[in-house]
Amino acid sequence: MEFWMIGALANTAITATYLAIALIIFRGIGAAGQWRANPLALATGCIFFTCSVSHGLRVAHLLLLLLGVEAEIGAATRQVFSAWHISAWDSLTAAMALWYFSQRRISALVRGAQIFEDVRVRQGEAFEIHDNVVQRLANAKMALDSGETQECLREVETTLAASRKIISDLMGDKRTGHVVRPGDLRRQSPAGRS
Amino acid sequence: MSESAYTVILADDMVPYRRLVRTVLEKSGSFRVVGEVGDGAEVIELTKAVKPDLVLLDLGMPEMDGLEVLSQISAASPATKVVILSGFSEECMAARGLSLGAVRYLEKGIHPKALVQELLAAMR
């Protein structure tokens, strides 16, 4: 087998794999409605798509030469692919593309933006609890340990009010419009047991 | 209060807690609070000016958080020791804080006596 044939096979594999990856990414973005919200996934999909077209054109030129169409370009392409290092490199690229495709985690790219958003929201909630509950309870304990009972009681009352507000906000989540329904407050075990 | 008491800057945005810690430290006779600040940027400036023996540093603060200012405190006053006193659990944040130059990590909720003992141990 000549080197240009190896190059043609490698480029065919690259074209098909890159196209499949691009389609998976675009389908995921569409299903999640993230065309604007996830530019990283969109750009990644576009890169795979344009590279797929680029490698596909090389294959097309080689094939058209066999049919006698666009013979000059086809001959030049074949000459390029006759250099062993170009075909070898394309073969390596094809192997990498197939390896990437086999990971079957491409959809994670699409979930990425949502995951980052979820983490950001969760960290915000953690900070709110830290600042309004943990810090105040620590303050109450320090006051109690220092014998400042009034300060301790005041801080416990403030913490109680802050905790209620946080829980109310989380239960009737303003972001998602979630409304608490009968059964939502059913617990796995009695309160106070951890 | 002894003249040889260690000088301390308290950096915490929660004023009532700062006040209680100040009382505890000064009552111990081993520490003298030379400044209180409520945000990360202020602690760097005050450390440069005062060069205290110790900075007792909260992590969650406005402007700059405790982790951001740790290395800058060392640059501002290399001899100053930093002990983190935070509401975040030790498990969650200690390794990060110690890697950035703090000598000890204490969780808020610590008993006042234990706080003084830990700070004295940190200064030795």
**Residue A79 pLDDT class (50, 70, 90 cuts):** confident
Q: Provide, rounded to the nearest whole percent, the portion of chain A with pLDDT above 70.
A: 81
Report the pLDDT averaged over residues A169-183: 66
Contact A143 B20 (CB under 8 A): yes
By the CB < 8 Å criterion, does B109 face chain A? yes
Per the CB < 8 A criterion, the answer to whether B61 and B41 are in contact is no
Give how far A40 is from chain B: nearest CA, Å: 28
Contact A135 B23 (CB under 8 A): no
Mean pLDDT check: name the lowest of A74-83, A165-174, B1-10, B79-88. Answer: A165-174
pTM of the full predicted structure? 0.60
Question: Phi-psi region for residue A33, left (φ > 0), alpha (ψ -120 to 50) or beta?
Answer: left
By the CB < 8 Å criterion, does B60 face chain A? yes
Q: Give the whole-angstrom CA distance, residue A189 versus residue A82.
A: 72
What ranges make up the beta strands (E) of chain B? 6-11, 31-37, 54-57, 81-86, 104-107
Taking contacts as CB-CB distances below 8 angstroms, the residues of chain A near B88 are 130, 134
Give how far A173 is from chain B: nearest CA, Å: 25
Provide the residue ranges of all domains of chain B, joining segments of one domain with +: 6-123
Chain A residue closest in CA terms to B62: A131
Interface probe with B: pick from A145, A149, A152, A159, most Cβ of B within 10 Å: A145
pLDDT tens digits along B13-36: 989 999 999 999 999 999 999 999
Q: Which two tokens stand for residue B24?
A: 């505890």
Contact A142 B17 (CB under 8 A): yes
Q: Phi, psi (5° rounding) for residue A103?
A: -65, -25
Give how far A139 is from chain B: nearest CA, Å: 5
- Give yes or no for residue A111 having a pLDDT over 70: no
Q: Give the whole-angstrom CA distance, residue A194 versus residue A190.
A: 9
Highest mean pLDDT among A23-32, A78-87, B13-22: B13-22
For residue B36, give the nearest of B26, B48, B22 by alpha carbon. Answer: B22
- Beta-carbon neighbour count of residue B109 at 10 Å? 15
For residue B32, give the nearest of B6, B53, B52 by alpha carbon. Answer: B6
Contact B20 A151 (CB under 8 A): yes
Chain B residue closest in CA terms to A154: B16
Specify the pLDDT at position A80.
83
Contact B16 A151 (CB under 8 A): yes
By the CB < 8 Å criterion, does B89 face chain A? no
Specify the pLDDT at position A84.
86
Return the CATH number of the domain spanning residue range B6-123.
3.40.50.2300
Q: Phi, psi (5° rounding) for residue A66?
A: -65, -30
**Cβ-nearest to A130 among B16, B24, B87:** B87
Specify the pLDDT at position B43.
93
**Residue B108 pLDDT class (50, 70, 90 cuts):** very high
Using alpha carbons only, give the angle A184, A187, A190 rounded to the nearest 5 degrees: 150
